[in-house]
Structure 1
Amino acid sequence: MRSFRISGRECRRHAERHCLRNFETVGESRLYGKAWRAGQRCLIPAQWIYEPCYETGRNVWHRIGLTEWQSYCVTGIWRRYDGDDGRSLIGMSMMTVNADGHAVMGRMHKPGDEKRSVVILRPADYDEWLHTKNIEAARTMLHLYPADEMAAMPK
């Protein structure tokens, strides 16, 4: 498996464009539509992610992962693009799905904001995610991970 590193600064600066992509609209995306149709899917390894939680009335960042904090992979899509200095770069975006009602991810983000979650993939599905030629088969893999197999705690 090939891995790519994107700096935290670049990810924050281009978060909407480069780091998170709604699966519902990825096929129509100016930045990622062509990559989606070409099957340029990837796996993004993680032990946890951080999300803001406002249950206390203020932003408290939460560490979110699998129970016992084992490593996992998030579904992603990648594309080539020209950087500001003219170099050819590879960007990726984590796929997200609606998380309304999810016991863990539905608690994250500001009240009134859409609740979204990255898509955690089970190891048995890695090969199909990376290699299926059927876009609809890939789309069916984009769903919420069971909340009872996840953990969340303040940072």
Structure 2
Amino acid sequence: MCSRYTPLKTESLLNEFFGVSGIDQPVKDELFPMYLGPFIRRHEFADVGDEAVPSRELLIGSFGMVPQWAEPKLARQTYNARSETVHEKPSFRDAWKRSRHCIIPAAAIYEPDWRTGKAIPTKIVRSDGKPMGIAGLWTEKKLADNQILHSFTMLTINADDHPFMRNYHKPEDEKRMIVILLDDEYEAWLTAKPEESRYFLRQFPADQMTVSPPTD
């Protein structure tokens, strides 16, 4: 399960790889549950027929799903959604049913490597140097002051047989990995209907993932 990642914040890279404009408020360099970070969804008015409206928009939301009925602190538990049960869990089922798909742009993720007998936080990146487009769900909650809190979660799948990701997490635990979309799947994921959603919940190729060397 991914509870720490490096968000993609560089405007030129967000535009080049995801077709969205830059971030308009401060975002931390490393994100944990309840931190605010960027996510990309289909534009709210993408279907109005106005060519001036882009197909995608970038928003800032809480890392961790916060449905209308929940307190913001629930995000500490809802930052990942298991693909096997996402359709039935109270925190996620409405967003799944409504195809509230999003892409979480990330430069890297962190997972614990237990092969030495203790957890070593390990920075994982794409081997081709491109950012990750992580498949997620989003929702919104109206706060007491009528402000809107957006929030998002990362979808996860089993990785027991994944040549790369099976090396992470405790030896006795099930191996999990986030769903990293292929580059040419971004638009299809954002526009997919509920019955089409599970097609995208696949393992990212192991040879396209690597450990980032430590920096001084």
- With the length of structure 2 as denominator, give the TM-score of the two structures: 0.63
**Where do residues 46-65 of structure 1 align in structure 2 (5 Å cutoff)?**
46-65=106-125
Corresponding residue to 1:147 among 206, 209, 213: 206
Rounded Cα–Cα distance in structure 1 between residues aligned with 2:143 and 2:149: 6
Larger Rg computed on CA atoms: 2
Q: Kindly state the Cα deviation for residue 81 of structure 1 after the two structures are TM-superposed.
A: 2.4
Rounded Cα–Cα distance in structure 2 between residues aligned with 1:7 and 1:41: 15
Amino acid corresponding to residue 149 of structure 1 in structure 2: Q
Equivalent residue, structure 2, for 1:29: 89
Q: Which one is further off, 82-91 or 145-154?
A: 82-91
Unaligned residue ranges in structure 1 (runs of 5+): none
Q: Kindly state the Cα deviation for residue 27 of structure 1 after the two structures are TM-superposed.
A: 0.7
Q: Kindly state the Cα deviation for residue 84 of structure 1 after the two structures are TM-superposed.
A: 8.3
Q: Which one is further off, 85-94 or 66-75?
A: 85-94
Rounded Cα–Cα distance in structure 2 between residues aligned with 1:85 and 1:116: 38
Could you report, residue by residue, the CA deviation over 1:35-62 in whole angstroms, capped at 9, with x for unpaired residues? 1100100000011100111000001011
Q: Kindly state the Cα deviation for residue 31 of structure 1 after the two structures are TM-superposed.
A: 1.1
Rounded Cα–Cα distance in structure 1 between residues aligned with 2:107 and 2:73: 19
Rounded Cα–Cα distance in structure 2 between residues aligned with 1:153 and 1:65: 6
1:136 aligns with 2:192: no
Moved over 4 A (4+): 82-87
Unaligned residue ranges in structure 2 (runs of 5+): 1-56, 65-71
Equivalent residue, structure 1, for 2:75: 14
Checking the alignment, whether the CA contact within 8 Å between 1:119 and 1:144 is kept in structure 2 is yes
Q: For the aligned residues, what is the CA RMSD?
A: 2.4
Rounded Cα–Cα distance in structure 2 between residues aligned with 1:6 and 1:154: 29
1:93 aligns with 2:153: yes
- With the length of structure 1 as denominator, give the TM-score of the two structures: 0.86
Rounded Cα–Cα distance in structure 2 between residues aligned with 1:82 and 1:114: 36
Identity %: 34
Q: Kindly state the Cα deviation for residue 151 of structure 1 after the two structures are TM-superposed.
A: 0.5
Checking the alignment, whether the CA contact within 8 Å between 1:96 and 1:118 is kept in structure 2 is yes
SS at match of 1:4: strand
SS at match of 1:79: strand
Corresponding residue to 1:2 among 42, 58, 67: 58
Checking the alignment, whether the CA contact within 8 Å between 1:62 and 1:154 is kept in structure 2 is no
If asked which structure has higher relative contact order (CA below 8 Å, sep 6+), I would say 1
Checking the alignment, whether the CA contact within 8 Å between 1:42 and 1:78 is kept in structure 2 is yes
SS at match of 1:90: strand
Rounded Cα–Cα distance in structure 1 between residues aligned with 2:213 and 2:144: 36
Q: Kindly state the Cα deviation for residue 88 of structure 1 after the two structures are TM-superposed.
A: 3.0
Rounded Cα–Cα distance in structure 2 between residues aligned with 1:105 and 1:22: 16
**Where do residues 69-88 of structure 1 align in structure 2 (5 Å cutoff)?**
69-82=129-142, 87-88=147-148
If each structure's helix is expressed as a fraction of its own residues, which one has the higher value? 1
Report the number of matched residues.
151
